[in-house]
Amino acid sequence: MKQLRCLRYGLLALFLLLPSSCKSAPTPGGPSTVTLKVFNWGDYIDPDVTALFTQETGIEVIYTMFEANEDMYTSIKASGDVSHDVVIPSDYMIRKMINEDMLRKIDMGNIPNHALIDDRFKNLAFDPQNEYSVPYMWGTVGIAYNTTMVEAPITSWTALWDEQYQKNIFMMDSVRDSLGVALKMLGYSMNTKNEAELQEAYNKLVEQKPLVLAYTGDEVKDKMIAGEAALAVVYAGDAITISDENPDIAYVIPQEGSNLFVDSMCILKTAENPEAAEAFINFMCSTPIATRNWEYINYSSPQKEVIAQMPEEFQNSPARNPSAEDLARCEVFEDLAQTTQYYEDLWTRLIGA
């Protein structure tokens, strides 16, 4: 999809979508230029979007990246919550940050493009009143596999424990995702707080570890494109990026079920420029920019006009548009409260073993 990065609408259309308060912003680089600090996942925005935002508003963007929700949370805590304005966490982390009074309520009157978000992605459990977050992207976790390196189509998480794939498996370097895989394979909830179930899942990951080539982050895309392993646990959007470059790659949501995630744009309680943050969120929800980001990063968009223009050939794609049956077997991660530390302790033991 990255070859489709061209902007489909004129800059005038973008300009008209912005709140009027932002159209009179100072010239970029001027003495009173407003600076907005955005903290997002790696490779999770079209690289030209922040420059377009600056061009249209005069608000300069300082853009930094993280690879996991936990990394983002720890970084913000360590910095005293003053290093960022806009952050883009996942569902369960948003709930945690709300509970810890880390997020500012968003004035939706300044986000008219919120009306373009599909109702399926509003009033979700982590933010039931739509006060703290605006959905950005959503997707699933599954297995990307090289069809030339496996004997038959993959259908179950158990394939990740098959000894024929020794040192031919990439797992996620992520406590919730990797423990969640083991929990689902065992028939447990990805949100369990039962320590006996968690210990059983940990034991399965210890059993699996000799088969694992590496625990990966964003680099898994290049590695699977290059055919460095047969199987990888990946986000659906990454699976699309991989298969665009390597047509031998297929993607499956295993039969036991998986994680359904919703990543959303939020404003930190300590944001220095909340009005600029709201202008940025509104800009990101506009149809031309939401389309541009969808085309670049390949994750599923919650924006209604982007969904409506999705090409027909994508409608039956398990990565781009999972079936109702697949989604019914998926869970959204929840905030684990005090049990989070138990997960972290198990993960530390696993990686250090």
Q: Which residues pair with 251 in a beta bridge?
A: 144
**pLDDT value for 347:** 97
**pLDDT value for 353:** 79
Query: How far, in Å, CA of 20 to CA of 110, rounded?
Result: 10
Query: How far, in Å, CA of 224 to CA of 184, rounded?
Result: 24
What is the fold, at CATH topology level, of the domain defined by 139-260+322-333?
A: D-Maltodextrin-Binding Protein; domain 2 (3.40.190)
Contact 273, 36 (CB under 8 A): yes
pTM to 2 decimal places:
0.84
**pLDDT value for 335:** 93
What is the fold, at CATH topology level, of the domain defined by 2-138+261-314?
A: D-Maltodextrin-Binding Protein; domain 2 (3.40.190)
Contact 235, 319 (CB under 8 A): no
Query: How far, in Å, CA of 219 to CA of 250, rounded?
Result: 18
Average pLDDT of the chain is: 90
Burial readout 270-281 (b: 16 or more C-beta within 10 A, e: otherwise): bbebbbbbbbbb
**pLDDT value for 32:** 52
**pLDDT value for 81:** 55
Q: What does the chain come to in residues?
A: 353
Task: Kindly tell me if the per-residue pLDDT of 90 is higher than 80.
Answer: yes
Q: Which residues pair with 40 in a beta bridge?
A: 65
Tell me: the pLDDT tens digits for 177-205?
999 999 999 999 999 999 999 999 999 99
Rounded to an integer, the average pLDDT of 243-269 is 97
* Domain ranges in the chain with CATH number 3.40.190.10: 2-138+261-314, 139-260+322-333
Rounded to an integer, the average pLDDT of 227-246 is 97
134 C-beta neighbours (distance < 10 Å), count: 25
Tell me: the pLDDT tens digits for 124-176?
999 999 999 999 999 999 999 999 999 999 999 999 999 999 999 999 999 99
Kindly report the three-state secondary structure assignment for every residue of the chain. Answer: CHHHCCCCCCHHHHHHHCCHHHHCCCCCCCCCCCEEEEEEECCCCCCCHHHHHHHHHCCEEEEEEECCHHHHHHHHHHCCCCCCCEECCEHHHHHHHHHCCCECCCCHHHCHHHHHECHHHCCCCCCCCCCCCEEEEEEEEEEEEECCCCCCCCCCHHHHHCHHHCCCEEEECCHHHHHHHHHHHCCCCCCCCCHHHHHHHHHHHHHHHHHEEEEECCCHHHHHHCCCCCEEEEEHHHHHHHHHHCCCEEEECCCCCCEEEEEEEEEECCCCCHHHHHHHHHHHHCHHHHHHHHHHHCCECCEHHHHHCCCHHHCCCCCCCCCHHHHHCCECCCCCHHHHHHHHHHHHHHHHC
Q: What angle do CA 156, 256, 344 make, to 5 degrees?
A: 100
13 alpha carbon, distance to own chain's centre: 27
Beta strands 60-66; 169-172: pairing state = unpaired
Least confident window among 9-23, 90-104, 193-207, 284-298: 9-23
Tell me: the pLDDT tens digits for 15-40?
434 444 444 444 444 445 899 999 99
Listed in sequence order, the residues at least 6 apart from 10 whose beta carbon sits closer than 8 Å to its beta carbon are none
